[in-house]
Structure 1
Amino acid sequence: ANDPTRPEARAPRGFVDRRGRDVASERAILAAVSGVYERWGFEPLETGAFEYVDALGKFLPDTDRPNEGVFALTDDDDQWVALRYDLTAPLARFAAQNWESLPKPFRRYAYGPVWRNEKPGPGRFREFVQCDADTVGSSRPEADAEIIAMTVEGLEAAGLPAGSAVVKINNRKLLNGLMTAAGVASEGQKLAVLRAVDKLDRLGPDGVRLLLGEGRKDESGDFTKGAGLNAAAAERVLAFTAAGAGGRSETLTKLSDVVGGSAEGDEGLAELAAIDAALTGLGVGVDRAVFEPSVVRGLEYYTGAVFEAELLLSTLDDKGQPMRFGSIGGGGRYDDLVARFTGERTPATGFSFGVSRLAAALKASGRELASASRGPVVVIAFSPDRMADYFAVAREIRAAGIAAEVYLGSSGMRPQMKYADRRLSPAAIIVGDDELAAGTVTIKDLDLGRALAAKVTDNAEWRAERPGQQTVPRGELVAVLRAILAASGSAG
């Protein structure tokens, strides 16, 4: 059995194979979200999987082999190329390369696989699909608001019930204003403050208060050194993070008490006020988009507004415990990215979400788009010399826009029914000699059969009733199938 010449069939770590239902579910999400983006006037853009390493930038170290975090190789002209790790770096390169000919602002959406050469773990893959929308060339806060409103609409189009996701919004300038007001001097101290704030969910205000000051000991006795703020400065930071309760305008009022007066803080407040007004005009209420000063993720990268979409749906984990899905995407304003190529600051803002993560969340909460899960109608093959007739029936069903196939294995009737069941087929079609002679077809409604099988205990009663089976004239075949599909909520 252990033949050394045979390779072992195995997928590389961090790469997954996905079958029908999962593929269909992700496609349905992409189709729904793309439809929203196009209605908002964003054009699709596809770029290649590889970019030159120097064009990717961001977190690539200057080493001889630039492979940390990315999959890289040398091209035949000795230049390093790498698989893209997101869709934003290729956009920046494309915009810089084609800036003269592009309509400005340039509004584009994109989706596709991205690759990260990182250690795989639960829910962390080395290849996954992202979907982004960005506006390059507008510095107006309304451009941020539009991306946020569109994100909300896109997530709902993908199948999330209204109110089950909220976009949390912050602004890098507010944090900079806060640092000034709290007397934070060095970059190191600033990072320590950001890290402390990021742990608010986990440790609560008391734990964060310790981390803002001298430091804290955790349950295991390990000591984490704090940011070293004095008590008044620490309280100011905590007041800042607590300002998010209530409506958007209330939050702005509370924030202006904490960071108002510093030039950058006032600028951030003005931007959020403009975002609030635009969101109100777009009909996005506080149940779908809130100002949340404790959002600090990615702030090294973003230059202004920053936003994160959080799923409020509760679902059960593998052990049956309730769990929150948390963040399914994020974005913000990044005004420095195109400048890497052109030397000129070019404003840009966008949002990105992980498609598989959203698909997993929809599946776990039972909200997956219905079309994703059905198999084809199966035409049972009785007799090898009648194959042409079976194919004619399948053709007729397909012409009506319903998926169908003729069974092409070599098993008998019962295994064929089992096959149809395994495919989650809505119905199986039986065209025996009697049916062909009479111009009829027998249709077995497999959904109804499944539902009734759960209730019937007696085998004889089952055989007598033959639930969900009917013989109809051939001309009525499509109408009956449509009714079966409509009853199962997946009209073809």
Structure 2
Amino acid sequence: MTSDPQRPEARAPRGFNDRRARDVVSERAILAAVSGVYERWGFEPLETGAFEYADALGKFLPDADRPNEGVFALQDDDEQWMALRYDLTAPLARFAAQNWETLPKPFRRYAFGPVWRNEKPGPGRFREFWQCDADTVGSARPEADAEIIAMAVEGLEAAGLPTGSALIKINNRKLLNGLMSAAGVTDDGQKLAVLRAVDKLDRLGPDGVRLLLGEGRKDESGDFTKGAGLNGAAAERVLAFTAAGAGDRASTLAKLADVVGGSAEGDEGLAELAAIDAALAGLGVGADRAAFDPSVVRGLEYYTGAVFEAELLLSTLDEKGQPMRFGSIGGGGRYDDLVARFTGERTPATGFSFGVSRLASALKAAGRDLTRAARGPVVVIVFDQNRMADYFAVAQEIRAAGIPAEVYLGSSGMKAQMKYADRRLSPAAVMVGEDELAAGTVTVKDLDLGRELAAKMTDNAEWRGQRPGQQTIPRGELTAALRRILDAV
């Protein structure tokens, strides 16, 4: 007697998520809304392959012999290393360099799709997730940055965020460089320490950042973090820079000029922000939706000019019901050095990117949960296996009206079929028994209303007495009745 072969354990790889209709439909709705905005602004869709040659990615590749740090890589049959893309910007740079002679310039494109990162997964951190980007390649004008910012504002609101619930915070790498010069910071390691200290401003406040700009800071556990080593005057100059963001964009520029004005690079950054301000004003984007904030430093090692970060402003709660700061829901900036990796020539570029799942979470936190759009099809209940052709005719009639529908194809009875329809999040169940067929009628049960009432009722007698949302109507009124149920949400 032979034993059964060993069966594999049914399990998903760590960091890779299975997603059912609720998540898939809500994220598709976000992408459809945002894509519509991007196309109205004249950006064309672009799709690139999941794999890029590893040397084209450039980032996350410390081991040239086997590039498996940070990316998922494999060797092609010609012994060239390929890796799954870790973002959508590196493939754009490769595409632009490869096709530059034939592209309209500037080249305006948007893209969305999955990206992969070979990093340790954790809560809310996955190895596979979806991004959505919009970029302009080939324009050095600050107005190109302003356009991306304004379009990001419109895209986030089109996705469902209420106006005023998110703010695009804008800074400029050149201002930071001017600040470093004014503060006498020339060492790259010290510059990085200053940026890391400023990045903790929201969490530690000015006093904590002041310590990190100086000798260092001991946290509540007793652990000591070495500081940037600035003297007192230089540290205060940095703090004055970060505090200049209070007020409208014009007053922020004036305060920044007092701190970094006079250095060539600082003045250049101020001029670029002034041009962005004027363009945003022309586009109708006020400081309540896009503001200058010198404390935004994340990504400044990568970006070459303007940098922006979208932050959710709404009060949100964590899984335990405690208040929490949701934080960033997207970001971008100017990256004029990326295409040059391929061509050797600096090519200006600017863009904005957001994680689709993170934006879906932000919408949920904002009370705009799109999962209700993930309702299943209308389910036609089966009473008699010999009348399947009649049930299929009913389902086809519903589909012809543009409403998703299915006939139950299991072998269970009425109670189990209704449970099936409820698990499918069906908006309604349609019942056509012998009496209905003879009378030319149908019975429709509004499952959306039933679920809503069930959540409010505790007395079964009351439930049975009201028979919520169930009606028998002429067959010719079926699709109109279903449409009313669908439109009620």
Shorter-chain TM band: over 0.9
CA distance in 2, matches of 1:54, 1:437: 71
- 2:331 matched residue in structure 1: 330
DSSP-derived class of the 2:420 partner = helix
Which of 408-417 and 28-37 deviates more? 408-417
**How far is 1:373 from its partner?**
2.6
- 1:285 matched residue in structure 2: 286
DSSP-derived class of the 1:228 partner = coil
Q: Is the 8 A contact 2:22 2:372 kept in 1?
A: no
Task: Map 1:46-65; keep pairs closer than 5 Å.
Answer: 46-65=47-66
Q: Is the 8 A contact 2:22 2:371 kept in 1?
A: no
CA distance in 2, matches of 1:199, 1:3: 57
CA distance in 1, matches of 2:268, 2:377: 57
**How far is 1:224 from its partner?**
1.6
Which of 459-468 and 203-212 deviates more? 459-468
**How far is 1:366 from its partner?**
2.6
- 1:75 matched residue in structure 2: 76
- 2:354 matched residue in structure 1: 353
In structure 2, relative to structure 1, the CA distance for the partners of 1:9 and 1:240 (3 Å cut) is same
In structure 2, relative to structure 1, the CA distance for the partners of 1:208 and 1:465 (3 Å cut) is closer
**How far is 1:383 from its partner?**
0.7
Per-residue CA deviation, residues 427-463 of structure 1 (Å, 9 max, x unaligned), is: 1101001111111111111222233445555545544
Which of 290-299 and 362-371 deviates more? 362-371
DSSP-derived class of the 1:331 partner = strand
- 1:297 matched residue in structure 2: 298
Which of 463-472 and 348-357 deviates more? 463-472
Q: Is the 8 A contact 1:158 1:369 kept in 2?
A: no
**How far is 1:3 from its partner?**
6.7
**How far is 1:196 from its partner?**
0.9
Structure 1 length-normalised TM: 0.97
Task: Map 1:150-189; keep pairs closer than 5 Å.
Answer: 150-189=151-190
CA distance in 1, matches of 2:422, 2:399: 19
Q: Is the 8 A contact 2:244 2:293 kept in 1?
A: yes
Task: Map 1:201-216; keep pairs closer than 5 Å.
Answer: 201-216=202-217
CA distance in 1, matches of 2:228, 2:23: 45
DSSP-derived class of the 2:325 partner = strand
Matched, 1:198 2:199: yes
Which of 28-37 and 363-372 deviates more? 363-372
Q: Structure 2: state its 5+ residue gaps.
A: none
CA distance in 2, matches of 1:203, 1:472: 65
**How far is 1:361 from its partner?**
1.9
- 1:253 matched residue in structure 2: 254
In structure 2, relative to structure 1, the CA distance for the partners of 1:191 and 1:409 (3 Å cut) is same
Structure 2 length-normalised TM: 0.97
Matched, 1:241 2:245: no
Q: Is the 8 A contact 2:23 2:371 kept in 1?
A: no
Letter of the 1:376 partner, please give it. P
DSSP-derived class of the 2:92 partner = helix
Per-residue CA deviation, residues 101-131 of structure 1 (Å, 9 max, x unaligned), is: 0000000000000000000011000000000
- 1:66 matched residue in structure 2: 67
CA distance in 1, matches of 2:430, 2:311: 45
Q: Is the 8 A contact 1:164 1:312 kept in 2?
A: yes
**How far is 1:363 from its partner?**
2.3
- 1:22 matched residue in structure 2: 23
Which of 363-372 and 213-222 deviates more? 363-372
Letter of the 2:397 partner, please give it. E
- 1:385 matched residue in structure 2: 386
Q: Structure 1: state its 5+ residue gaps.
A: none
**How far is 1:464 from its partner?**
4.4
In structure 2, relative to structure 1, the CA distance for the partners of 1:395 and 1:371 (3 Å cut) is farther
CA distance in 2, matches of 1:26, 1:70: 24
Per-residue CA deviation, residues 351-378 of structure 1 (Å, 9 max, x unaligned), is: 1100011112212333023762312111
| Displaced runs of 4 or more, over 6 A | none
Q: Is the 8 A contact 2:246 2:252 kept in 1?
A: yes
Letter of the 1:421 partner, please give it. D
Task: Map 1:471-486; keep pairs closer than 5 Å.
Answer: 471-486=472-487
- 2:343 matched residue in structure 1: 342
Per-residue CA deviation, residues 172-198 of structure 1 (Å, 9 max, x unaligned), is: 000000000001121111111111111
Letter of the 2:270 partner, please give it. L
In structure 2, relative to structure 1, the CA distance for the partners of 1:418 and 1:232 (3 Å cut) is same
Per-residue CA deviation, residues 262-286 of structure 1 (Å, 9 max, x unaligned), is: 0000000000000000001101111
Per-residue CA deviation, residues 216-240 of structure 1 (Å, 9 max, x unaligned), is: 2111222222111111111110000
Q: Is the 8 A contact 1:71 1:115 kept in 2?
A: yes
CA distance in 2, matches of 1:263, 1:30: 41
**How far is 1:4 from its partner?**
6.2
CA distance in 1, matches of 2:299, 2:430: 55
Task: Map 1:391-406; keep pairs closer than 5 Å.
Answer: 391-406=392-407
Q: Is the 8 A contact 1:22 1:372 kept in 2?
A: no
DSSP-derived class of the 1:313 partner = coil
Kindly, what percent of the aligned residue pairs are identical?
Answer: 87
CA distance in 2, matches of 1:186, 1:455: 65
Matched, 1:86 2:104: no
Q: Is the 8 A contact 1:174 1:268 kept in 2?
A: yes
Which of 387-396 and 210-219 deviates more? 210-219
Which of 361-370 and 409-418 deviates more? 361-370
